[in-house]
Amino acid sequence: MFYALSAMNPGFKFNDVDVLADRNNLRVLLEFVQGKANGPFRLDLYTMFSTLIIVRNESKWWKHADGKSYGCNFEKFFTRPAAGMEDATSHYRAIKYPMGPLNVVVRFEADAYDDGVKNDDLTQFESTIVSGGLAERPIFRYGAPMRVLQKGHVVPMAQMVELKTKAHYPAKGSSLVNCQDQLWFGRTSLLYTGPCHEGTGLINRIKCEDATERVKKWEDSNQESLRKLVSLLAFLRYFMQQQRTRAIVLVREGKTGPLTLRSMETRDLNLGSAEFMNFWRREGHHGPGGGFRGQRGGRGYNTAPRGRGYGHTGRGGGYETRGRGRGHDRGGFGG
């Protein structure tokens, strides 16, 4: 993401960004505060200056299909790559928006875009890129293992599409795909669903939906959960700012149970390099000033003997912050 940012928007600064995370990480934490049994999972937490960075840490990134979903093949056979992008394997986008009192940058994978959708609501940055502004910028070259190639064109957010398949049962009629939280965190309004026959994957039709209204209803009915999520994020950010460490592990060890903060023995996130830290620096500021660094020996913060950490044991998986965090329970969450 930082390499792409260096090419597309090198002047961007994270100074006012409170949280940087993948969409899935926020969904996982939302399910926790909703009291759902979604463990076990591990999230690595880092801070760069005043920004909390959440990184997923899993032993397996790829999972075998369970035979009940045909999402990958649906995307493969019902979409086509743009000219010059035939070798692209995936498309990621990072967007910035307020979540209650927090400014967040959310990175997510976009399935497709519909260039037949009219869009008159380009942002100033999108307008500059679409009109050819990017072509006038220099080509950035980096050493191995990362190399940036400037290809394709910028697609407006209004054309982004989330693709889903859903088993179709004629006797039960059609039902909505339950992915409102995914659409909400990714600020995606277009949802294209392929109702498929279970066992064969046969798709006879595609349902094209503008999900704006039902995502808004989901938002209205989940205000309490969203407040809890923001309180949790604010607490984690405040907690790390009070410690000498800049890296800890957030883990839910069982399917249910508390969240625990543990020390981090190793540092494998390359956020300390000068080229990335520049995204936080202000004019005339050259010192690290709270950059990515930990305690001597790299053991990080241990909240209890033998790394037992801080646990939350409230009912329903809810999470309440203390002290300053309480203020984040007020106010609603708009798009």
Radius of gyration of the chain from its Cα atoms, rounded to whole angstroms: 21
Is residue 287's pLDDT more than 60? no
Task: Write out pLDDT tens, residues 100-120.
Answer: 999 999 999 999 999 888 665
Give the Cα separation of 202 and 199 in Å (integer): 8
Give the pLDDT confidence score for residue 269 in this predicted structure.
Answer: 57
Question: 321, 234 in Cβ contact below 8 A?
Answer: yes
Question: Angle at CA 196, nearest 5°, toward 187 and 93?
Answer: 25
Q: What DSSP state is assigned to residue 257?
A: S
Give which of 216, 20, 12, 10 is closest to 102, Cα–Cα.
20
333: exposed, middle or buried (C-beta count within 10 Å: 0-12, 13-18, 19+)?
A: middle
The pLDDT of residue 327 is 32
pLDDT tens digits for 299-325? Answer: 333 333 233 333 333 333 333 323 333
Q: Nearest Cα to 29, choosing from 264, 241, 233?
A: 233
**Of 231, 207, 211, which is closest to residue 219 (Cα–Cα)?**
211
Neighbours of 334 (CB within 10 A): 11
Mean pLDDT of 186-208: 87
Closest CA relative to residue 232, chosen from 324, 325, 317, 332: 325
pTM of structure: 0.77
Amino acid (1-letter code) at residue 174: S
Output the pLDDT for position 3.
Answer: 84
Residue pLDDT, tens place only, 119-172: 656 666 666 655 444 444 445 454 556 778 888 888 889 999 999 988 776 655
